[in-house]
Structure 1
Amino acid sequence: MSDEQANAVDRGDGGAEPSTDPDAAEGEPNDAEREPNDASSETGGAPIEEIAERVGDEDPDAVAEEIAALREEAAALERDRDDLESRLKRKQAEFQNYKKRQKKRREREQARATEDLVTDLLEVRDNLSRALEQDADADIREGVEATLRSLEDVLAGEGVEPIEPGSGTETDPERHEVLLRVESDEPEGTVADLHRPGYEMAEKVLRAAQVTVSDGSGAGDGGEGDGDGMDGADGSDGRGE
C-alpha cells in the first residue's frame, strides 16, 4: 500500500473532512454562539439587582430620613397646590362680583339718565296742559291735544304712572307735596284739592303731587249750625210764650 492510499484510509477511518454543504452551515447555533444571548438576558435584569443591592447596602436610618424628606416635600407641594387653588377660586369669585357690580352700576346710570329725561318731559307735559286750559283757537288746540297724547303715550311706554290723589285721600309725605292748608269739607289732614299731578316710575317717585290739605274747619259746620239754630228758636219761642 502506498503512502497516498494509507492517508486516504486514515481520512476515512478518522472522520470526514469538514462539509461544504451550505445547509449544514445554517444549522442550530453552537454553545459559543448562544453565550452572548444568555449573557444579554442576564444583563437585562442587572438594573433591578443593582438597585436591590444598593438599597440593601444603605443605612436604614438614612433611608428612613430620605423617605421622610420626600414625604415632607410632597406635602409641601400639596399645600402649595391647595393654596393656588384657593387663590384661584377667590379671584374667580372677585371677578364675578366685579361683573355684577359693573352691571348694577350700568343699570343705575341708565335708570338715572332715563329719570332725568322723563323729568324734563314732565315739564313739557305741564306746559301743554296749561295751554289747553287757556282759550285758544280750535286749530291750535287740536295740535296741542295731539302732542299731549303722544307725549303721554311715550311716558306710559317708559312705565311712568301719574300720582293724582283725590279729595279726602290721606296724605303721603313721600308722594304728596303739601302747598298749604285750606278750609274744606274734607276731614282734617286729608287732600282738599290737587294742584299739580305727580309721577312715579318703577316704584320710584320722580315728582310728588302738589296738593292742598284740609284744615277740617268746614267738616262739621253744617250739622252744628243747624242744631244751634234749632235750639235757639225753640228756646226763644218757649220763653216768649
Structure 2
Amino acid sequence: MSDEVDAAHDEPEEPTDEPADAAADEGADADAAGSDAAEGEALAAAVAEHDEALAKEVAELEREAAEAAERVEELESSLKRTKADFQNYKKRAKKRQEQQKARATESLVSRLTEVRDNLVRALDQDGDADIRPGVESTLETFDRVLAEENVSVIDPDPGEEVDPERHEVMMRVDSDQPAGTVADVYKQGYEMADKVIEEAQVTVSDDE
C-alpha cells in the first residue's frame, strides 16, 4: 500500500496550458479592440468627409441662390425702367401727334383765310360790278388748297358709267345719254387719298 502511495508521489505532474491560452485570448481581444478602433476612425473620417462635402454643396447652393436673387432684382428693376420709358414714349408720341395735327390744322386754316379774304374783296366791290371773275379766282385758289390736301373733286361727265362707290343716284331722267349712264351732275363729290369723303349726286338716263 505504501508502495502505491510512493509511486503516486513519484509520478511527475503534467504541465498545464492555461497561461498560454489566457495570453492568446488577451491578444485576440486586443486585435478586436484595435480593429474596432480602426473602423471607428474610418467611419468618423467618412462622416467628416461627407459633412465637409455637404457643407460645400450647401455653400454653393446658397451662393447660386444669392446670385439668382440678385439677377431677379436686376431684371425687375430693368422691367420697371422699361415700362416707365415706354409710358414716357407714349406720352411724347401722343403730344407730338397732337402738335403735328395742330400745325396741320393751322396750315389749312391759314390757307382757307386767303380764300375768305378773296370772297370779302369780291363782295366789297360796287353793286353794279361783275364779281364773277373774282369768284372764279377765289374758286381756283380754293381748289388749289384742296389739291394740296390731296382732295380731289368727283365730277363725272355725262354718259359716264355710274360708280356706286362714288356716285349717288338722285333720280332717273330722260336724256340723250345711253340708258343707265350719268345724265347730269346735281352736286359734285369729294375724295381724299382715294377715299370717298362725299359722293357726287347725279341723275341717270332713263332706260326708255
TM-score calculated relative to the size of structure 1: 0.45
Work out whether residues 192 and 213 of structure 1, in 8 Å CA contact, stay in contact via their aligned partners in 2: yes
Tell me the alpha carbon deviations over residues 50-79 of structure 1, each in whole angstroms, 9 at most, x when there is no partner.
Answer: xxxxxxxxx724454334222211111112
Q: Choose from 133, 143, 156 the match for 1:142.
A: 133
Equivalent position amino acid for 1:80 in 2 = E
Question: Which amino acid letter does the alignment assign opposite residue 81 of structure 2?
Answer: L
Does the alignment pair 1:65 with 2:58? yes
Whole-Å separation in 2 of the counterparts to 1:185 and 1:158: 37
The answer as to 2:196 corresponding to 1:205 is yes
Call closer, same or farther: CA 1:97–1:68 in 2, change over 3 Å: same
Mapped contact 1:169–1:190 kept (Cα < 8 A): yes
What pairs with 1:81-100 in structure 2 (closer than 5 Å)?
81-93=74-86, 95-97=88-90, 99-100=92-93
What is the CA-CA distance between 1:187 and the residue it aligns to? 3.9
Shift of 1:80: 2.1
Q: Name 1:168's counterpart in structure 2.
A: 159
What is the rounded CA distance, in whole Å, between the counterparts of 1:110 and 1:212 in structure 2?
Answer: 40
1:196–1:209: 8 Å Cα contact kept in structure 2?
yes
Task: Name the CA distance, whole Å, in 2 between partners of 1:66 and 1:92.
Answer: 39
Alpha-carbon distance, 1:145 to partner: 2.9
Report the alpha carbon displacement of residue 103 of structure 1 after superposing the two structures with TM: 5.0
Superposed CA RMSD: 3.8
Which consecutive residues of structure 1, in runs of 5 or more, have no partner in the other structure?
Answer: 1-58, 128-135, 218-241
What is the CA-CA distance between 1:104 and the residue it aligns to? Answer: 5.3
Q: 1:156 aligns with which of 122, 147, 150?
A: 147
For residues 159-213 of structure 1, give each alpha carbon's deviation from its aligned partner in whole angstroms, at most 9, with x where no partner exists: 3311111122222233222211112343443211112222223333333211101
What amino acid is aligned across from residue 79 of structure 1 in structure 2? V
Out of 195, 213, 216, the residue aligned to residue 186 of structure 2 is 195
* Cα distance in 1 for residues equivalent to 2:100 and 2:173: 43
Counterparts of 1:108 and 1:174 in 2: how far apart (Å)? 29
**1:1-241 mapped onto 2 (5 Å cutoff):** 60=52, 61-93=54-86, 95-97=88-90, 99-100=92-93, 139-217=130-208
Residue 237 of structure 1 is matched in structure 2 by none
User: Identity across aligned pairs (percent)?
Assistant: 38
